[in-house]
């Protein structure tokens, strides 16, 4: 069967013959003249100096003039952020005629930014008109690179009416120039009590050698850093690079006990018994319990937890921004917000939705009623000051150098 | 006129393809080299500053993963030689008319995507899957034993995915051996073991060399096997490079790491070729 | 010394009789071993095919729950729209890249096999490098290029990358065939007044066509299953292997198994068919 032999002998001949003679080597070293060309290369940055907090007053008008309804929205979101039956989207399509293509393509902020950055930098569409991004380092990167469209608040009437006051003054986007919250969430500890045999209350439990090989942590550096800092009693909001080094050392000591560093897939690992105790996001556990009938528990540790906000934003190269902003405002309707919070169990940005949820719960009976009331009154969905006092934001940075130092300190923990 | 045309013919034939390779194989290497010497940030831009620190940072930060990758690839290659040689030997000498069929069977896995093959293995090797569960039930293995996430699983995956790359070159070399040479050695009273050691093995060496080249290099730079079958204690340099390009946008460090990996592999190949003696290899190849 | 040599002939007779038996035992062991290896190679494929007939109870296709053919029904098979889209994207990319790389590669292969020219050495080095280069480095360097040129990765960059790594494979196959060409046929054509152009298209090309066709098939197979290089050059475009990669955390739906089995089946059929055809051609 020579046909299958022939390529191999040709390749073999290629492999086993001596290829580079002295003349070839000289010729190739002539390429070093291209060294000058190397210096001419550089990757253009997209950020304009002083970008970020302030935005030119006519930027909104400039972006939105001429944009018209298209009839379709491509929506990129995280997993476990909507009922798989998508009732809210169905209602939206029925009322407005705009179809929605909902994709759960975002699992972690770092990879999401890295994936779409080159395309956005080249001015290309990323295939989505609406994306939900966390208020992490990457949010600042998106904003400073000019990748986010400034929102036209004249189209966000529901938001103005129904959003909780504190969401309009967030440090990462004061005045909601580029984003409005989708949901807020907390990072705490999820565990399977059947396996751990005791209730978990402290961050130190994640360092407990009794759970060796059954501990899960996030691979996101900001999530890791916060837990490392909080365990040592340090405040992430005021941490310095010395604090980061100490936290990194603590996390490195934990490494032999950790089964794996996860993105959102930690919840599946918990589900199939791969881990017994893991860093977790508040709403996931309840959804898992609901969908799979499990009995996992979620706690905010004594030493503290993390509070973050996921925000709806429109990428600057979106093909259907008008439809996207209509969808954004749709989610701030009281009944829609209530329906969403009821399923996802994350912090609802619409306080008046609680009344709606309670009213809906009272219409049910028996076990359904208790379950629904539990969610409606849950401190994880409508937290009070008590809960907020234990929560901290991600570490923020004064400049790019600090941010790079931070990344260099914590990245090696997850990269083996 | 015709003669000139005929002389220019090869250049015209080669031009489109050659240009494509130049543009998209050679020049990207230069772009990567340039990127590895830049510093800055993905948002504010990178500037070319001969920033050699990228290389030193890369080595101090990730030499563990680099060494680990070389070790895994080394063990994997040795396992491959041990596993592949008997198969190649049997097919070459005893395959008879069914040689092409056997080779085809060996290549069968390549009709399924690399990722799918490895994920299938993950499914088979889960803590309570069809392999571990029975063994745990009969007590051969402790209940808490897990195969996934260990170096064994990663090396196993590497060996699985690259076996044909080792079998085929060895097979080609063995198949080329004139059976009369072996017969002659037997006639000269050599035992089968001796004729194997002194006649067959040296003639098969160029095949082994080619096989090592075609498997060690991709194994050392693999990241799929460790990502799917391993854990963070098995992180290979390929994963670090992939992580830095596609997850943290740290292009300069990633480019520096890629060059370091390439350099290490090239040095290894040349040293290996020296050790084996490229003269013999050339002579056999010329046949 | 000479004494022992003289003695040997007598003892070789029974030894020779013993040797065939020993060889058979050794070869049986090797035979079993070879088949064990082949079975080991096929296990994951068998698992993949088996689980395309599984009726999973939950979200995951992990445990065997029951036999069903429903995932093979087109309605259910294409139920996941972005998976079907990814498969379609993979097919389109494979078709384009295999045809273009065949065109470019045939030129190189023919030139290298037929002519001796300056630069053939360098070309050989580049070709050898493309074949033996780790995919990681090729992908990383391409992404570096696109980032430096501010070109957004996407469908076009994937096609470019696939063409790039397929050219050398096609060229190697074609060159191997061209090297064994009987020049006298070309000379005969020239004697009959044909220009080199006509000779190539009417005489040479039909003869090397099977090799070109093998090259197209190989390039197609390389492209449709490629993961590493595609991962680096895809941006937010999704191909079939990339979709699988993205979905592994959440669990692979049975549709993936069905599609993987289909691709496998078609590939095997084509390979067997080409094999049979070339056997027929040889015996004809």
pLDDT tens for C175-193 read 988 888 888 888 888 888 8
- Confidence (pLDDT) at C41: 93
User: A29 near A128, Cβ under 8 Å?
Assistant: no
- What's the confidence (pLDDT) of residue A25? 47
Report residues of chain A scoring pLDDT below 50.
1-7, 17-18, 20-22, 25-32, 49-53
CATH number of A186-307+391-414: 3.40.190.10
pLDDT band at C7 (very low <50, low <70, confident <90, very high): very low
Confidence band, pLDDT 50/70/90 cuts, at residue C2 = very low
Name the residue in chain B with its Cα closest to that of A256. Answer: B233
Can you give the pLDDT at residue A187? 95
| Residue B78 distance to chain A (closest CA, Å) | 20
Q: Average the pLDDT over C145-165 and give the result.
A: 93
**CATH, domain range B63-286:** 1.10.3720.10
C 11-40 near B (Cβ less than 8 A): 12, 19, 22-23, 26-27, 30-31, 33-34, 37-38, 40
Q: Is A147 in a helix, a strand, or coil?
A: coil
Res B274: pLDDT: 78
Contact: A1, C275; criterion CB under 8 Å: yes
Instruction: Give residue C283's pLDDT.
Output: 62
Q: What pLDDT is recorded for position B61?
A: 86
Contact B232 A1 (CB under 8 A): no
Find, in chain B, the residue whose alpha carbon is nearest to that of C30.
Answer: B90
Residues 190-219 of B with CB under 8 A from C: 192, 213-214, 217-218
Q: Does C102 touch chain B (CB under 8 A)?
A: no
pLDDT score recorded for residue B79: 96
Q: Which chains touch A (3 or more CB pairs under 8 A)?
A: B, C
What is the structure's pLDDT at C204? 86
Whether C119 contacts chain A with CB within 8 A: no
User: Domain residues of chain B, as ranges?
Assistant: 63-286
Which residue of chain C has the CA closest to A123? C152
Report the chain C residue with the minimal C-alpha distance to residue A265. Answer: C249
Interface touch C236/A27, C-beta < 8 Å = no
Question: Does C241 reach chain B within 8 Å, measured CB to CB?
Answer: yes
Q: What is the pLDDT of residue C24?
A: 54
Kindly state whether C198 is in contact with chain B, defined as any CB-CB distance less than 8 angstroms. no
pLDDT of residue A13: 53
Q: What does the pLDDT read at residue A120?
A: 93
Question: Residue A309: what pLDDT?
Answer: 94
The whole-number pLDDT of residue C239 equals: 94
Nearest CB among A37, A38, A117 relative to B249 is that of A117
DSSP codes joined into one string, chain B? -HHHHHHHHHHHHHHHHHHHHIIIIIHHHHHHHHHHTEEEETTTEEEE---THHHHHHHHHHHHHHHHHHHHHHHHHHHHHHHHHHHHHHHHHH-GGGHHHHHHHHHGGGGS-HHHHHHHHHHHTSTTSTTHHHHHHTTSS-TT---TTSHHHHHHHHHHHHHHHHHHHHHHHHHTS-HHHHHHHHHTT--HHHHIIIIIHHHHHHHHHHHHHHHHHHHHT--HHHHHH--GGG--HHHHHHHHHHTS--HHHHHHHHHHHHHHHHHHHHHHHHHH-HHHHHHHHH-
Could you give the 3-state DSSP secondary structure of residue A337?
helix
Position A277 scores a pLDDT of 96
Which residues of A fall below an 8 Å CB-CB distance to C?
1, 3, 6-7, 9-11, 14-15, 19-21, 24, 27, 41-44, 79, 101, 103, 105, 107, 115-116, 118-124, 126-128, 263-265, 268, 292
Q: What is the mean pLDDT of each run of 10 residues along chain B (287 residues)?
A: 73 89 92 91 85 90 93 95 93 84 88 90 82 82 80 94 92 86 84 83 87 92 91 90 91 93 89 66 38
Superfamily per CATH, domain A63-185+308-380: Periplasmic binding protein-like II (3.40.190.10)
Task: Write down the pLDDT at residue C114.
Answer: 83
Q: What is the pLDDT of residue A8?
A: 54
The model's pTM is 0.85
**What is the DSSP pairing of strand A258-262 with strand B38-41?**
unpaired
Instruction: Write down all domains in chain C, each with its CATH number in brackets.
Output: 81-252 (1.10.3720.10)
Which chain C residue lies closest to A262 (C-alpha atoms)? Answer: C249
CB contact under 8 A, C249 and A107: yes
Among chain A residues, the shortest Cα distance to C81 is held by A101
pLDDT in tens, C233-257: 998 899 999 999 988 776 788 889 9
Query: DSSP characters for B79-143?
Result: HHHHHHHHHHHHHHHH-GGGHHHHHHHHHGGGGS-HHHHHHHHHHHTSTTSTTHHHHHHTTSS-T
Contact criterion met (CB < 8 Å) for C125 and A122: no
> How high is the pLDDT of residue A9?
55
pLDDT above 90 coverage of chain C, percent: 40
What are the residue ranges of CATH 3.40.190.10 in chain A? 63-185+308-380, 186-307+391-414
Tell if the CB–CB gap between C172 and A7 is shorter than 8 Å. Answer: yes
């Amino acid at each position: 069967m020579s046909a299958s032999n022939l390529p191999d002998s040709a390749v073999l001949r290629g492999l086993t013959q001596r290829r580079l003679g002295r003349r070839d080597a000289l010729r190739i070293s002539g390429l070093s003249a291209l060294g000058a060309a190397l210096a001419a290369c550089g990757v253009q940055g997209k950020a304009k100096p002083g970008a970020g907090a302030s935005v030119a007053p006519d930027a909104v008008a400039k972006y939105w003039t001429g944009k018209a309804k298209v009839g379709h929205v491509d929506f990129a979101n995280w997993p476990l952020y909507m009922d798989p039956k998508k009732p809210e989207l169905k209602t939206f399509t029925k009322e407005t005629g705009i179809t929605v293509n909902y994709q759960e393509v975002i699992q972690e902020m770092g990879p999401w930014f890295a994936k779409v950055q080159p395309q956005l930098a080249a001015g290309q569409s990323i295939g989505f008109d609406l994306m939900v991004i966390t208020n992490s380092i990457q949010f600042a990167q998106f904003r400073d690179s000019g990748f986010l469209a400034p929102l036209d608040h004249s189209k966000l009437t529901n938001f103005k009416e129904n959003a909780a006051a504190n969401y309009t003054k967030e440090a990462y986007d004061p005045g909601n120039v580029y984003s409005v919250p989708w949901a807020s969430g907390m990072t705490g500890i999820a565990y399977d009590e059947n396996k751990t045999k005791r209730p978990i209350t402290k961050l130190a439990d994640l360092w407990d050698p009794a759970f060796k090989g059954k501990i899960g942590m996030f691979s996101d550096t900001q999530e890791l850093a916060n837990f490392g800092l909080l365990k040592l009693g340090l405040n992430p909001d005021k941490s310095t690079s010395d604090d980061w080094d100490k936290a990194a050392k603590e996390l490195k000591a934990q490494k032999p006990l950790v089964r794996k560093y996860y993105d959102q897939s930690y919840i599946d690992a918990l589900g199939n018994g791969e881990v017994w105790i893991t860093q977790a996001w508040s709403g996931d556990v309840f959804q898992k319990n609901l969908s799979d009938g499990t009995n996992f528990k979620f706690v905010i540790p004594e030493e503290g937890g993390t509070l973050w906000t996921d925000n709806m934003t429109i990428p600057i190269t979106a093909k259907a921004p008008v439809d996207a902003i209509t969808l954004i405002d749709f989610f701030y309707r009281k009944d829609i917000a209530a329906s969403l919070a009821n399923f996802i169990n994350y912090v609802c940005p619409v306080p008046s939705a609680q009344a709606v949820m309670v009213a809906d719960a009272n219409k049910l009976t028996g076990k359904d009623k208790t379950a629904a009331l539990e969610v409606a009154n849950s401190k994880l969905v409508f937290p009070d000051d008590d809960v907020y006092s234990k929560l901290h934001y991600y570490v923020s940075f004064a400049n790019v150098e600090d941010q790079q130092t931070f990344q260099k300190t914590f990245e090696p923990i997850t990269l083996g | 006129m015709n003669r000139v045309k005929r002389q220019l013919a090869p250049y015209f034939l080669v031009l489109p393809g050659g240009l494509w390779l130049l543009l998209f194989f050679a020049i990207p290497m230069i772009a990567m080299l340039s990127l590895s010497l830049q510093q800055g940030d993905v948002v504010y831009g990178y500037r070319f500053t001969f920033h050699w620190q990228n290389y030193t940072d890369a080595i101090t930060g990730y030499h563990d993963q680099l060494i680990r990758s070389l070790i895994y690839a080394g063990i994997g290659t040795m396992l491959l030689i041990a596993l592949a040689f008997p198969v190649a030997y049997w097919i070459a000498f005893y395959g008879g008319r069914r040689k092409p069929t056997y080779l085809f069977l060996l290549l069968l896995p390549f009709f399924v995507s690399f990722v799918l093959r490895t994920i299938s293995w993950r499914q088979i090797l889960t803590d309570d899957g069809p392999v571990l569960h029975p063994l745990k039930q009969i007590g051969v293995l402790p209940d808490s034993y897990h195969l996934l996430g260990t170096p064994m699983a990663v090396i196993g995956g590497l060996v699985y995915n690259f076996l044909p790359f080792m079998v085929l070159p060895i097979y080609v070399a063995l198949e080329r051996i004139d059976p009369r040479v072996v017969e002659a050695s037997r006639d000269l009273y050599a035992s089968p073991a001796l004729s194997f050691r002194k006649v067959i093995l040296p003639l098969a060496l160029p095949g082994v060399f080619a096989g090592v080249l075609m498997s060690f290099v991709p194994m050392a730079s693999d990241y799929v096997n460790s990502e799917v079958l391993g854990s963070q204690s098995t992180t290979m340099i390929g994963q670090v490079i992939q992580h830095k390009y596609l997850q943290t946008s740290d292009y300069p460090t990633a480019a520096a790491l890629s060059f370091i990996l390439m350099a290490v592999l090239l040095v290894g190949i040349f040293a290996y070729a020296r050790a084996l003696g490229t003269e013999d290899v050339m002579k056999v190849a010329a046949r | 010394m000479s004494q022992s040599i003289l003695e040997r002939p007598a003892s070789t007779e029974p030894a020779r009789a013993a040797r065939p038996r020993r060889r058979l035992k050794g070869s049986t062991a090797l035979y079993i071993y070879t088949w064990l290896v082949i079975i080991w190679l096929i296990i994951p494929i068998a698992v993949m095919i088996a689980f395309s007939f599984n009726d999973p109870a939950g979200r995951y296709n992990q445990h065997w729950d029951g036999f069903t053919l429903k995932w093979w029904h087109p309605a259910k098979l294409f139920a996941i729209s972005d998976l079907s889209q990814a498969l379609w994207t993979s097919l389109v990319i494979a078709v384009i890249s295999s045809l273009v790389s065949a065109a470019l590669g045939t030129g190189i292969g023919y030139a290298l096999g037929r002519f001796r020219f300056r630069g053939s050495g360098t070309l050989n080095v580049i070709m050898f490098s493309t074949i033996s280069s780790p995919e990681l480095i090729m992908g990383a360097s391409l992404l570096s290029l696109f980032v430096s040129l501010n070109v957004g990765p996407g469908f076009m960059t994937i096609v470019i990358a696939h063409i790039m790594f397929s050219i050398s494979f096609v060229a190697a196959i074609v060159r191997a065939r061209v090297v064994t060409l009987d020049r006298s046929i070309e000379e005969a054509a020239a004697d009959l007044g044909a220009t080199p152009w006509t000779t190539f298209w009417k005489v040479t090309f039909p003869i090397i066509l099977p090799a070109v066709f093998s090259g197209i098939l190989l390039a197609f197979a390389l492209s449709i299953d490629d993961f590493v290089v595609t991962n680096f050059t895809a941006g937010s475009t999704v191909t079939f292997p990339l979709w699988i990669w993205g979905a592994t955390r959440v669990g692979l739906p049975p549709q993936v198994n069905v599609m993987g089995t289909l691709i496998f089946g078609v590939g095997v059929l084509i390979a067997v068919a080409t094999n049979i055809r070339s056997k027929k051609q040889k015996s004809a």
